[in-house]
Structure 1
Amino acid sequence: MFGIARKYSNWVQYRRTVDELSRLSQRELSDLGIGRGDIKTVARRASI
């Protein structure tokens, strides 16, 4: 049961991170050292 809740929580965090980073401009992403193609990877790392 807790494993499912943890996976769901991680997924919600992943989606939230992807959504927030996707809203940033290319300049803002560049200032953070992130390329648009790196958003999913960064979000995956942030949600673990």
Structure 2
Amino acid sequence: MTHLNLTHTASYRGLSDRIAGFVADLRAKLARRKVYRETLRELRTLDARELADLGLNPSMLKRIAYQAAYET
């Protein structure tokens, strides 16, 4: 008698799993983008003196916002 044993590999993902993964990735990307935009907006509200007190230059603001959103 022959016995056939089928096992699913971890690499197999059904359509619903792929859609759920896509949605989760999209939500994470949108959340990071929101952090970037909010951080940049808040930093841009600071005047030159406040930035200097923090040791920041206006040319650094985009990089700081990027780091806050994507490198943490």
Gaps of 5+ in 2: 1-22
What TM-score do you get using the length of structure 2 for normalisation? 0.64
C-alpha RMSD of matched pairs (Å): 0.7
Structure 1 residue 2: deviation in Å? 1.2
Segments ≥4 residues shifted beyond 3 Å = none
**Residue type of the alignment partner of 1:2:** A
Write the mapping of 1:5-44 to structure 2, written as runs, cut at 5 A: 5-44=27-66
- Structure 1's unaligned 5+ residue stretches are none
Letter in 1 for 2:35: Q
Q: Deviations over 1:2-45 (max 9, x none)?
A: 11111100000000001000010101011111110100000000
SS in 1 for 2:43: helix
Pairs aligned (count): 48
Greater helix share, structure number: 1
2:33 is matched by which residue type in structure 1? W
